[in-house]
Amino acid sequence: MNSDLIKLFAETFGISEEKLLPDATLESLGLDSLAVIEFLFQIEDQFGIQIPDQANPPRTLAEMVQLIEPLLPPGKPAV
């Protein structure tokens, strides 16, 4: 997974990086749907990107990274 994104995720939610395994569900990490929206919003602002509305919002960490990573500007470090 994109290590910069994982680092940002860990800092935002105060969760140690070792716990952030790809298959970890966001719910098991203590994130409800509102917290996920806040995080995606933060990412959008930080990188000047637009994440399209999702019919099925990401359920796991890997799904969230898959959603964000292709939209990140090339060559720009995430944090």
Binding stretches for other proteins (CB under 8 A): 12-15, 29-32, 34-35, 37-39, 41
Q: What is the rounded distance in angstroms from the CA atom of residue 45 to the CA atom of residue 40?
A: 9
Q: Name the residue nearer to other proteins (CB basis): 23 or 45.
A: 45
The smaller minimum CB distance to other proteins, of residues 4 and 44, is found at 44
| Closest approach of other proteins to the CB of residue 75, in Å | 26
Please, which residue, 37 or 71, has the CB nearer to other proteins?
37
d(CA 49, CA 25): 24
Distance CA 26, CA 65 (A): 12
